[in-house]
């Protein structure tokens, strides 16, 4: 069975991204390419990475009016990513149009609440309630809009799965025991994320910043 680990290759350096992928490819299920990589390398860079033969998770977290998001996704269609992200806070119509514009085999998933945020950030933004409530609310909206699943932290994935048993759940903010959280605020271990219902887990710096990424990936895999 394919590994549930998607490695976040947050680098502008395509050669580095390829080298890390080659070193860890036996321990991962796919590669996640986000804004940093896309801004530096564009669609051509995504195609080069896809040629390595692993599923591509294109994490652009699209967030705009429905027409703009749909047109952006139409432009991305030739890349045929396995997974593509939008922000749930873009609203129901935007998510509906995003799904309609995506290739049939692409899972479109909505970011419910960034894992770098916590309850106090919600309060600062004037959003009532706690992270758990907000994630559940956004998950309901994404389900109603016809998406394939959501991105949430491992702390809420059990509640999200309860209201959407056949949803696809992407969990970033994952750290090995005693790992450095960095800018992530809602963090769980890889094993906890999977036991709570994650379909895939996203891990970046604990692998990519390790002295030996293959050993780091192997060590994480051994905990699952």
Ligand X SMILES: O=c1ccn([C@@H]2O[C@H](COP(=O)(O)O)[C@@H](O)[C@H]2O)c(=O)[nH]1
User: How many of the chain's residues bind ligand X (CB under 6 A)?
Assistant: 16
Cβ proximity to ligand X, 49 vs 203, nearer residue: 203
Binding of ligand X by 151 (CB under 6 A) = yes
Spatial neighbors of 15 by CB under 8 A, at least 6 apart, are: none
Binding window for ligand X (CB under 6 A); candidates: 42-50, 70-78, 101-109, 199-207: 199-207
Binding of ligand X by 58 (CB under 6 A) = no
Check whether 209 is labelled as a binding-site residue.
no
Binding window for ligand X (CB under 6 A); candidates: 16-24, 40-48, 123-131, 201-209: 201-209
Alpha-carbon distance of 45 to 40, in angstroms, equals 8
Judged by CB under 6 A, the residue of 30, 172, 190, 213 near ligand X is: 172
Q: Is 61 a catalytic residue?
A: yes
Check whether 59 is labelled as a binding-site residue.
yes
Q: Return the SS3 of 116.
A: coil
**DSSP letters spanning 153-216:** -TTTHHHHHHH-TT-EEEE--B--TT---TT-SS-B-HHHHHHTT-SEEEE-HHHHTSSSHHHH
Binding of ligand X by 202 (CB under 6 A) = yes
Judged by CB under 6 A, the residue of 30, 34, 154, 167 near ligand X is: 34
Residue with the shortest CB distance to ligand X: 204
Q: Which structure tokens are listed for 200?
A: 């895939």
Count the neighbouring beta carbons within 10 Å of the beta carbon of residue 97: 21
Spatial neighbors of 6 by CB under 8 A, at least 6 apart, are: 28, 29, 30, 31, 32, 57, 170, 200, 201, 202, 203
CB of 175 closer than 8 Å to CB of 206: yes
Binding of ligand X by 115 (CB under 6 A) = yes
Check whether 15 is labelled as a binding-site residue.
no
**What residues are labeled active site?**
59, 61, 64
Which chain residues interact with ligand X by CB under 6 A? Answer: 8, 10, 34, 59, 111, 114-115, 151, 172-173, 182, 184, 202-205
């Amino acid at each position: 069975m394919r590994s549930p680990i998607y490695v976040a290759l947050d680098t502008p350096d395509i050669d580095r991204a390829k080298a890390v992928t080659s070193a860890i490819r036996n321990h991962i299920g796919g590669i996640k390419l986000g804004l940093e990589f896309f801004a530096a390398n564009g669609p051509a860079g995504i195609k080069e990475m896809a040629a390595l033969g692993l599923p591509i998770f294109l994490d652009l977290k699209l967030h705009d009016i429905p027409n703009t998001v749909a047109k952006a996704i139409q432009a991305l269609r030739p890349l045929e990513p396995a997974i593509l992200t939008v922000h749930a806070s873009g609203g129901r119509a935007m998510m509906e149009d995003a799904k309609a514009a995506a290739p049939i085999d692409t899972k479109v998933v909505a970011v419910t609440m960034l894992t770098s945020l916590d309850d106090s950030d919600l309060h600062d933004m004037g959003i009532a309630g706690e992270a758990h409530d907000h994630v559940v609310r956004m998950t309901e909206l994404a389900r109603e809009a016809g998406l394939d699943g959501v991105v949430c932290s491992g702390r809420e994935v059990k509640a999200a799965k309860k209201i959407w048993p056949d949803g696809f759940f992407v969990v970033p903010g994952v750290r090995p025991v005693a790992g450095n959280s960095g800018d992530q605020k809602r963090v769980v271990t890889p094993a906890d994320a999977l036991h709570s219902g994650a379909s895939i887990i996203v891990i970046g710096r604990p692998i990519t910043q390790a002295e030996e990424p293959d050993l780091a990936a192997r060590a994480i895999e051994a905990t699952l």
